[in-house]
Amino acid sequence: MTPPAASAAAVPPAVPTPTRARFVLRIVAAVAAAHLLNDMIQAVLPAIFPMLKEKYRLSFGQIGWIVLVYQFTASLLQPWIGLYTDKRPQPWLLPSGMAMTLVGILCIAQAGSYPALLAAAAVVGVGSATFHPEASRVARMASGGRFGTAQSAFQVGGNTGSALGPLVASALVLPFGQGAFGWLALAALAAIWILSGVTRWRLHHPEAKIAPPAPPEHAHRGRGEIARALAVIGVLMFAKFIYIGAFTNYFTFYLIERFGLTARESQFYLFCFLAAVAAGTFAGGPVGDRIGRKAVIWISFLGVAPFALALPHVGLLWTAIFAVAIGLVMSSAFSALVVYAQEIVPGRVGLVSGIMFGLMFGISGIGAAGLGHLADVHGIVWVYRLCAFLPLLGFATAFLPRSDGHRRG
């Protein structure tokens, strides 16, 4: 008869099987909804630029400086916040950042001068800088390894909010004046409530919902290869966001000058463009998970080039059709670019997200100021003819290394 001790020694203790991380839909949906509210608030500001331009007698250059102050503030802070929270997680930054946006909303509603508008825009920028890297991190944590899909869902929330911004401006702010901007405080309060719930989930589930690490392939990339990849991403981000920014900030002015539309009529066409951006962003992530990030980037830039080159030379109907095609195709690249960068530099999700969203805001802000000055000198139609060549910078994609060992592209 085997002694009990020997029997116990013969049977090795059970080793717990690690559970596969799962896609937490409610959390991804929550950060996407908060992103919708955040970016809707931000999109109302450029949508009311025609009203502010008339009220304060601003030039296109001064309009560009409002965009630059807001987006430059957001872009400078984001990488530092991401780097800090990679080492010292701060879950409550999410609702805190939205509280800062709430303060900015009230400041814009009460601003009585151009300098006050600039200061209020800077406050909104600080709120945005706090929100984006942390929300992107949570989306990745809840992705269950479906990084592109989660990032797309998160980003499409923001794009949907951007699309709704002009409609909210047309229905709420333009008819009733600048003070009506304060009603957006309700959207900020709703976002704070949503993000407080996301933060509580993150505090109670820190260990089980973290997505699996990047494939080992990325560990042996040399610094030169990583630097080259990030430099190419910078060029692609420049082309994408200068061109998208030309629509976001100046499409209404282009339509008013070229086709004689009113400010309110032009908001519908801006909404169509931004809705197409939202749809394209949603498609880009899942497609990138299947065929590879690089393939999506190729399609995004070179697929849009014919529409971009033709748009300044067609009538109103084809302008609307081409604008929708441009928004749909070009926006598909952003999620692919974010996830590509996260895979190239593993373990630095907050830093990479901060840099990517910071680049987005910084490039858009600098571009808005530059395009505004060019429009003052040469006219807004000339600016659109110049920007039509930007998608051709997509040829730089050829210099990107492959990011997915098991996928094409």
pLDDT, tens digit, 9 for 90 and up, residues 122-141: 998 888 888 877 887 788 78
Q: How many CB atoms lie within 10 A of CB 335?
A: 31
CATH architecture of 24-211+222-399: Up-down Bundle (1.20)
pLDDT at site 245: 83
pLDDT at site 219: 47
pLDDT at site 217: 45
Cα angle, residue 327 at apex, residues 325 and 331 outer, rounded to 5°: 125
| Phi-psi label, residue 364: left if phi above 0, alpha if psi -120 to 50, beta otherwise | alpha
pLDDT at site 358: 65
Task: Kindly list the domain boundaries of the chain, sorted by start residue.
Answer: 24-211+222-399
pLDDT at site 314: 93
* Low pLDDT (below 50) residues in the chain: 1-2, 4-19, 207-219, 404-409
Q: Give the CB-side neighbour count of residue 392, counting CA atoms within 13 A.
A: 7
pLDDT at site 221: 62
Q: How many CB atoms lie within 10 A of CB 132?
A: 28
Residue 141 neighbours by CB under 8 Å, 6+ apart: 27, 202, 209, 210, 211
pLDDT, tens digit, 9 for 90 and up, residues 7-21: 444 444 444 444 456
pTM above 0.85, yes or no: no
Nearest CA to 297 among 408, 136, 209? 408
pLDDT at site 409: 44
